[in-house]
Amino acid sequence: PMVDGVERVGVMQVSGSGTATDRTEAGRALASLATLLVVSQSSHDDLLVRHQRSSPMSLQAELLWAFLPPRTIGITRATSAAMLEPAYDIGGDAFDHTFVDGTLHLTMLDAMGHDLASGGASAAAVAACRAARRSGAALPDIATTIDRTLARWIPDRLMTGVIAELDTDTGDFHWINCGHPPPLLIRDGHVLPRALERDAELPLGLGFHDPEPPARHHVRLQPGDRVVIHSDGVTEARSPDGDLFGEDRLTDTVIRSLAS
């Protein structure tokens, strides 16, 4: 297996002489080296990028994927995994996550629209989030920075979002919700109803969170808990006969995946 941190990049096959133990160790070393080469080149090597893709990518998707971090990161106590679908034609959805001294910082954003402007708004919001976070800003200040950035540079573009952090030592989970669907808490294979629902805050980009930041909420998670943060693009997706995918199907899909 080719693994970058905790993200599976691919798999490679190696054959050679020697004992089984020697072959295994050599194979692991070669897989690690190959992974480093692939990851280091994947952002700018067009030949490698073309072989990785199965179809052309839209302009807004090309813009956003250039800004996004690895889809899966993790340490001993916690893992954060994200996905965007359809991957080749994403609009205004974006995510960011990182671990700093045992604390997981994560952001989920959903810009209004599915055009290039929405992708640009999400890219600007991710940049504002990182700039504030790397300057030591707290969650309310990160939200205010995103709100101020959108209102100044990309006016009339609304954005919902969840900005959160998890202390992996204590299990303390803090989050801010600006007009976004509430996160879901899965414990022991079941969704805890309304566990992370709080009073709604206005979306970002309206200028209402500057200088008054949105409220920060808190719960203490237990070992084994899963927090699912999603955009309405998942729950409002429709089948060919018009049925909504809905929150129940989303949670059922997640729980079945965990069980398998």
Binned at pLDDT 50, 70 and 90, residue 115 comes out as: confident
DSSP 9: E
Spacing of C-alpha 10 from chain mean position: 20
Question: Would you call 47 exposed, middle or buried from its count of C-beta atoms within 10 A (0-12, 13-18, 19+)?
Answer: exposed
The yes-or-no verdict on residue 220 having pLDDT over 90 is: yes
What domains are there in the chain, each with its CATH number? 2-51 (no CATH), 56-259 (3.60.40.10)
Closest among 73, 81, 128 to 258, alpha carbons compared: 81
Q: Rounded to whole angstroms, how far apart are CA atoms 180 and 112?
A: 12
The yes-or-no verdict on residue 20 having pLDDT over 90 is: no
The yes-or-no verdict on residue 17 having pLDDT over 90 is: no
Model pLDDT, residue 43: 80
158-184 pLDDT tens trace: 999 999 999 999 999 999 999 999 999
What is the model's pTM?
Answer: 0.89
- Averaged confidence pLDDT in the chain: 92
DSSP letter string, 46-105: HHHHHHH-SS---HHHHHHHTT---SEEE-SS-EEE---SSTTS--SEEEEEEEETTEEE
